[in-house]
Amino acid sequence: MKKFLIISIIILVTWSFALAQDLILEKNPEEIRIFAGDSQFYQRETWMVDLKSGENVYSWGKPAQLNSDEVFIQGDGGTLISTITNSFNQNSMITIISDQPAKGKIYLTYPLSHLILNYLYQYNWEPERNMPVGLLLIDMINQSQEAIRNTRFIIAGKEFTLDLEPYETKRLKIDEFHVISAEKISRYDPQNYGDTEVHFFWKLLIPTDILFPAKAEYFEKSSSGVVFLGENYLSGISPDVETEVGKSNDLTVEEKIEKQEKLNQVYSKKGQEVLYDTHEKKVYRIANRGTEKKKIEVFVPLQPSFELIAYSVPLNRVESNRVSFVLDIESQQIIEVALELTGKNLTTGFIF
């Protein structure tokens, strides 16, 4: 009895597929390859169908490499009530209920694993510009043995019609844009960078409507031509971009400890020093040897229990154990910044 039931179900399903109208036999769909926002191409097929009153059953030949759960099916003109995949021959059966005869549409969307999409940003900063110009490019790679001919692509809201040969890579310019804000800044932070050099950064704010996970390249025009400064990878989550584009040859920072003295020392019975207060002073000498005005942020290690008693520029508390100060320094200018602090009831060492 059980065997008979299974055979009956197989016959019923096979009979249902046999009665279904084959979408491919009706007419070709409008095929559009679209980008879905995750660096993946999807093919969308739009099938025009003539719906009759009641139940309408259609058969669609699913590509062999696709799993059923990768295909997203929608319908217009009626109510989509079910989809069934035939395990015997890759066909999917689509059932739509319509109240009356009508023109309908069936939308089938599925990923294209043989098409690869890579986004690329290029930022170019020219001397006469206050901000860099950004380019959004894409590399499209056809990893299939079959050519793609006269096909419509929608990428980042723009439409292209193009061909791709087997295993061909094609680069397209998607957009040219201006960043919302841009700033060049140098940083001196031996504690973080592990050296005493001045590191050079670009800080950019880019439009959110062209925000994608992508590689970014940075260029600057000089008297000798266009110089490649560096690259990084952007998450596509935040419009704030910060990247190190080299080390500064124009800015130098010299640190000098001018005072380190112990006060109010307390000794044990054996004559060993056990407690003391301290008064310390450090001077930073920052020089701009370049031909342009520069901005620099200098980081200073500072234990949270110590008290700053004098400083010649405003300070920012970066972390519990660090402060920083920011300077705009003119060409050929030298600025000295002094910090004085005290510590109480210390047991070992100095602060700086």
Pick from 194, 225, 247: which residue ends a domain? 247
User: 218 falls in which pLDDT band (50, 70, 90)?
Assistant: very high
Q: Which of 128, 111, 116, 129 is nearest to 63 (CA)?
A: 111
Return d(Cα 114, Cα 111) in angstroms, integer: 9
Does residue 179 lie in a domain region? Answer: yes
pLDDT mean over 321-343: 92
Are 129 and 226 within one domain? yes
Are 121 and 242 within one domain? yes
Task: Report pLDDT for 110.
Answer: 87
Structure tokens given for 230: 């560096």
Task: Report pLDDT for 124.
Answer: 95
User: 240 falls in which pLDDT band (50, 70, 90)?
Assistant: very high
Model's pTM, two decimal places?
0.75
Does residue 304 lie in a domain region? Answer: yes
> How many folded domains does the chain comprise?
3
User: 183 falls in which pLDDT band (50, 70, 90)?
Assistant: very high
Are 158 and 255 within one domain? no
Q: Are 196 and 298 in contact (CB under 8 A)?
A: no
Are 169 and 124 within one domain? yes
Does residue 352 lie in a domain region? Answer: no
Pick from 108, 130, 157: which residue ends a domain? 108
Print the domain residue range for 296: 251-346
Pick from 55, 81, 108: which residue ends a domain? 108
Return d(Cα 156, Cα 160) in angstroms, integer: 11
Q: What is the domain-level CATH number for residue 273?
A: 2.60.40
User: 27 falls in which pLDDT band (50, 70, 90)?
Assistant: low
Are 81 and 154 within one domain? no
Q: Are 199 and 247 in contact (CB under 8 A)?
A: yes
Q: Are 156 and 212 in contact (CB under 8 A)?
A: yes
Does residue 291 lie in a domain region? Answer: yes
User: 2 falls in which pLDDT band (50, 70, 90)?
Assistant: very low
